Amino acid sequence: MLLLCCPLLLLLLPPSSRPQKLPTRDEELFQMQIRDKAFFHDSSVIPDGAEISSYLFRDTPKRFFFVVEEDNTPLAVTVTPCDAPLEWKLSVQELPEEASGEGSGEPEPLEQQKQQITNEEGTELFSYKGNDVEYFVSSSSPSGLYQLDLLSTEKDTHFKVYATTTPESDQPYPELPYDPRIDVTSLGRTTVTLAWKPSPTASLLKQPIQYCIVINKEHNFKSLCAVEAKLSSDDAFMMAPKPGLDFSPFDFAHFGFPSDNNSGKERGFLKSSSKFGRQTSSKPRVDLHKVCIGNKNIFTVSDLKPDTQYYFDMFAVNTNTNMSTAYIGTFARTKEEAKQKTVELKDGKVTDVFIKRRGAKFLRFAPVSSHQKVTFSVHSCLDAVQIQVRRDGKLLLSQNVEGVRQFQLRGKAKAKYLIRLKGSKKGASMLKILATTRPNKQSFPSLPEDTRIKAFDKLRTCSSVTVAWLGTQERNKFCIYKREVDDNYNEEQKKREQNQCLGPDTRKKSEKVLCKYFHSQNIQKAVTTETIRGLQPGKSYLLDVYVIGHGGHSVKYQSKLVKTRKFC
């Protein structure tokens, strides 16, 4: 049976019209019309068996028509709101009696069919108000002119309409399983694993179905149309992940995570494209992501924020018709970050701290007496670490620390200090930290800005090398050690041994060259030299200088690799 239409015009039946028969569905003509998109563009035509998209202006009703020619005809009408609730009503009115007269049976031009329709109000069959995908289904509908009236009172909006007189054979929408829920099978601090039952359209009817997941932090969506309306038209939808790699849509700068410009290339995402001359940067990005993953029915979303609620929607999409059906959406809150133990710092006592790669440690300092100033001394043994200090919740300090650094902050009566230490991205971090309210309490020795050891090439001999290093205005003890190494000893090996917190007590006595005290009131002249003798010709040596403070804590300068002359 035919679903035929007329544009929304004031149509009256002219007295001079001769009896005509409304045509039955001519499949060849129907397919031709479906291919010709202009035939249905911005009109009130609802074709039989094809989904159309249209647009509503706020508070401006729109009417669509179609004709069912014979009684007892199956009928299905589906209305899909996109980004706003709709009010819609389906009604029917009798066809003109002349339409049942004999005719040629050949399809007639649309303009001739318009003249056979009246504008009388019909009988209401169904009405709905809301943003759900709603259906009208009847196994036996009367013949007549059907009117579909739609209205949006909230805002301008998109919507889709599908109508058919052959619902049993068409089945353009994927069928949902008996249990259409999405199950959360695993929940972590940054990951959520989802599973769902496959669509019978794929498992039984063997039609091409792919599943598309939508993730956001606001609410669930009832249709894929609503998702696409929310997303910027410039946003790229993602291709299926490579085998063995679950897609992580939060690698780039959504949900507060840093972006990696290369992540899209590695995971096969489509690049965003600017459409209709609009620039992608002109639209704010939304915290909403869609990814189509093929036909698998288990998926892990990763790189989420801890202790954050996310909403997950699943849509089965028939890739032949590009029409979709929504599973029942779900939501889940990721687990909280593991509670960190807070280490109590004692006034004037050095505390050793170990931090895992990319990890963090929290320390607390609560002076027992009133104080005008508080000093934090930090000795980073390996790579740089970040230190943050808060006093009663207020951020006072945020710095990266390499080597030895000292920070002096203004005190406050009964104040409590929370120190957060964040490790390196490269590897584990080790450090020593001291907090004190006594300004003269200095456990770490002062260091010059440049802690390199300089070797003088012209003073090299077959049995000695001469080196120099900088000191400070503070009188400290310096000890120099040597260790013979292989000729293939390289900078990478030296870097692995750059733990500045390891003191002279970890060295062999045979490696010690000498110790001496040194300082200079003139910082420009705070330089000392030393000649290391008793070396073997043509051999490589690793030299280390340790400076030892009054509290007994030592700091190692940067190691220096030297080589004696082979021939003299």
Q: Give residue-wise pLDDT tens across range 195-220.
A: 999 999 887 777 889 999 999 998 99
Separation between Cα atoms, residue 479 and residue 477, nearest integer Å: 7
Please report, in angstroms and rounded to a whole number, the separation of the first and last CA atoms in the chain: 108
Angle made by CA atoms 556, 560, 565, in degrees to the nearest 5: 150
- Least Cα distance to 2 among 170, 163, 171 occurs for 163
For the chain, what percent of residues have pLDDT higher than 70?
76
Average pLDDT over residues 516-538: 91
**107 phi, psi to nearest 5 deg:** -60, 130
420 by DSSP, 3-state: which? Answer: strand
Domains identified in the chain and CATH numbers: 38-94+123-170 (2.60.120.380), 173-234+286-338 (2.60.40.10), 343-436 (2.60.120.680), 453-563 (2.60.40.10)
Query: What's the whole-model pTM score?
Result: 0.50
pLDDT at residue 195 in the model? 94
The mean per-residue pLDDT over the stretch 307-311 comes to 93
For residue 270, what are the CA distances in angstroms to 281, 289, 351? 17, 13, 51
CB neighbour list of residue 456: distance below 8 Å, 6 or more residues apart? 465, 466, 467, 468
Q: What is the pLDDT of residues 9-43, one digit of tens each?
A: 333 333 333 333 333 444 454 444 444 444 444 45
* pLDDT tens by residue, 319-375: 888 889 999 999 999 998 777 688 899 988 889 999 888 888 999 999 887 788 898
Strands 417-422 and 373-391, by their bridges, are: antiparallel
**Mean pLDDT computed over 65-77:** 88
- Which of the pair, 61 or 117, is modelled with greater confidence? 61
- Of the two residues 484 and 244, the one the predictor is more confident about is 484
**Tokens representing residue 305 in the block:** 């924020």
CA 352, CA 143: separation in Å to the nearest integer? Answer: 87
Contact between 135 and 77 under an 8 Å Cβ cutoff? The reply is: yes
Helix (H, G, I), strand (E, B) or coil at 553: coil
Spatial CA neighbour of 423 closest among 354, 488, 515 = 354
pLDDT digits 0-9 by tens, 437-459 = 886 766 788 888 888 999 999 99
Q: Is the pLDDT of residue 532 over 90?
A: yes
Quick: pLDDT tens for 155-199.
888 899 999 888 877 788 899 999 999 999 999 989 999 999 999
Q: Tell me what pLDDT residue 33 has.
A: 44
Calpha distance 469→541 (Å, rounded) = 17
DSSP code of residue 181: B
Strand ordering across the sheet containing 73-81: 50-56, 157-164, 73-81, 134-141
Burial call 137-170: b when 16+ CB within 10 Å, e when fewer = ebeebbbbbbbbbbbbeeeebbbbbbbbbbbeee
Supply the pLDDT for residue 232: 59
Identify which of 474, 452, 556 has the alpha carbon closest to the alpha carbon of residue 523: 474
User: What was the pLDDT predicted at 207?
Assistant: 84
Q: Over 50: is that where the pLDDT of 534 sits?
A: yes
Average pLDDT over residues 38-51: 67
